[in-house]
Amino acid sequence: MNVVLLGPPGAGKGTQARRLAERFGIPQIATGDILREAMASGSELGRRAKSYYDRGDLVPDEIMLEVVAERLRQPDAARGFVLDGFPRTVPQAEGLDRLLDGMGRSLQAVLLFEVPRDALVRRLSGRWVCRASGHVFHELYSPPQVPGRCDHDGSELVQREDDRPETVERRLEVYARQTAPLVEYYRARGLLHTVDASADPEEVGRRVEAALRQAGVL
C-alpha cells in the first residue's frame, strides 16, 4: 500500500493515516515529524535542514525529498507507506515520482480529504495539544476532563500558533493556493480519489477504505 493523503489543515489526515498504519502494519510518514527527528538527530541531512529552519525559511524541496527518501529506505517501509500531507506542491510531487521510480515503486492512490471551509475553521480554532506528548483535544468535539490539562498525563494543554483563530484563514488560503495545481496533477494521472471527511472519524475511516477499494489498493 503506497498512498498519499492530501487535504487542508484540520481535515483529519493524521488520524486516518494512523488508522491505516496500525491496521496494515505500514508506517505513517508525516514529513513535519521526520524533519524534526532529522534535525534532533544531528545528522548531516538534519543539520542542513536546520540551517533553513532556524532562519525561518522553507526547507527546500530537494532536502525534503532526501528526508522522505531516507525514511522510505528503512525496513518498516518495505511493505508500503502512508504519506501524510506530502507532497504539497507539484515540484515535490514530481520529485516523489522520480524517487519512487528509482526505488522500483510507485503510488497506488492519492486520497483528497474534503471538508467545508467553515467546518475547518471550527475544527482548527478549537484544537489544543498536550505539551508533553502531543495528545490532541478539542474544546467542542473532544474536551479534556480537566480544562487545560491532558487526560493521559496531566500535562498542560497549549494552542499552537497555527491553530489560533486569527491564523486559520490564512493557513487555508495558502493551502488552497499551493495545492490546487497538485490536485489537478494527480487527477490527470488517474490517481486522485476524493473522500468526504466531514463526518466523525469512524465514518471517515470507512469512506477511506471504500476509496482504497475503488482504487484497487485493497
Residue 34 lies in a domain: no
Cβ atoms < 10 Å from Cβ of 151: 14
127 in active site: yes
Active site residue 160: yes
Annotated catalytic residue, options 117, 131, 160, 164: 160
Examine residue 128 and state whether it is found in any structural domain, yes or no.
yes
In a domain, 64, yes or no: no
Domain presence at residue 42: no
CA distance 141 to 204: 15
**Does residue 38 belong to any structural domain of this protein?**
no
**Active-site residue, from 48, 88, 123, 207:** 88
- Residue 69 lies inside a defined structural domain of this protein: no
Residue 75's pLDDT is: 95
Per-residue pLDDT of the chain (218 residues; tens, 9 = 90+): 999 999 998 899 999 999 999 999 999 999 878 888 888 888 888 888 888 877 767 788 888 898 899 899 999 999 999 999 889 889 999 999 999 999 999 999 999 999 999 889 888 888 899 999 889 998 888 899 999 999 999 999 998 877 887 788 888 888 888 888 999 999 999 999 999 999 999 999 999 999 999 999 98
Per the structure, the complete domain to which residue 23 belongs is given by 2-27+74-214
Residue 95 domain-assigned (yes or no): yes
Q: Which pLDDT belongs to residue 160?
A: 81
Q: Is residue 50 annotated as a catalytic residue, yes or no?
A: no
145-170 pLDDT, tens per residue?
A: 999 999 999 999 998 877 887 788 88
**For the chain, what is the domain count?**
1
pLDDT of residue 95: 95
Retrieve residue 137's grid coordinates.
483535544
Question: What per-residue confidence (pLDDT) applies to 164?
Answer: 81
- The active-site residue, picked from 13, 48, 123, 207, is 13
Catalytic residue among 36, 122, 149, 171: 171
The pLDDT value recorded for residue 185 is 96
Looking at residue 149, which CATH number applies to its domain? Answer: 3.40.50.300
| 207, 199 Cβ separation under 8 angstroms | yes
CA 12, distance to chain mean position in Å, is 9
State the pLDDT at residue 39: 84
The pLDDT value recorded for residue 115 is 94
Which residues are registered as beta bridge partners of 2?
81
Question: Is residue 149 among the annotated active site residues?
Answer: no
